[in-house]
């Protein structure tokens, strides 16, 4: 009786092994297809994120990119910040609203009593590249430069 049970166990293991092998053969193409679809979904999500970023920019306002090299070369003296504000005919409060800071911060920068933080320096560089019309559009839409 012991030999019968060991035969049954061996038979069961062999059937299980063969079933797994056949399942693997049948499922391998499906697994590959799922992997490929996941990659496609990932690429589509990236494209969607880019489209959302592009769509969140107000109409008529070009997206401005500021890289680290530009940031290293830029100068942020008080007189240059004031010239930039005056060139676009903006009051300190409106200039500050574009940058997402207080008017008092802009006053300190213009009076050389403080320097803009790195994030605000990037926004100032982006502001330099925009036209007065684009800045007015941003103000009308109550947007901050560099934010979606």
User: How many whole angstroms separate alpha carbon 111 and alpha carbon 119?
Assistant: 20
3-state secondary structure of 77: coil
Tell me which of 132 and 53 has the higher pLDDT.
132
The pLDDT value recorded for residue 57 is 57
pTM score of the predicted model: 0.55
51 pLDDT more than 70: yes
User: How many whole angstroms separate alpha carbon 128 and alpha carbon 99?
Assistant: 12
40 pLDDT more than 80: yes
Residue 77 · residue 111 · CB < 8 Å: no
CB-based contacts of 81, cutoff 8 Å, min separation 6: 106, 109, 110, 116, 124
4 pLDDT more than 50: yes
Mean per-residue pLDDT, 32-54: 91
> Domain 68-140's class?
mainly alpha
- What pLDDT, in 10s, does the model give residues 102-141? 999 999 999 999 888 888 888 888 888 888 888 888 888 8
The pLDDT value recorded for residue 148 is 44
Calculate the CA dihedral of residues 13, 17, 18, 23 and round it to 10 degrees.
Answer: 140
32 pLDDT more than 60: yes
């Amino acid at each position: 009786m012991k030999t019968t049970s060991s035969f049954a166990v061996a038979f069961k293991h062999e059937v299980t092994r063969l079933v797994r092998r056949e399942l693997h053969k049948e499922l391998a193409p499906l697994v590959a297809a799922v992997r490929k679809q996941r990659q496609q979904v990932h690429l589509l999500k990236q494209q969607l994120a880019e489209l959302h970023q592009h769509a969140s920019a107000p109409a008529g306002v070009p997206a401005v990119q500021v890289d680290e090299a530009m940031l290293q070369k830029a100068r942020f003296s008080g007189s240059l910040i004031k010239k930039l504000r005056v060139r676009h005919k903006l009051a300190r409060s409106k200039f500050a609203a574009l940058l997402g800071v207080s008017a008092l911060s802009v006053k300190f920068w213009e009076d050389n009593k403080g320097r803009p933080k790195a994030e605000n320096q990037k926004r100032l560089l982006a502001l330099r590249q925009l036209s007065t019309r684009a800045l007015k559009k941003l103000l009308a839409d109550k947007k901050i430069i560099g934010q979606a």
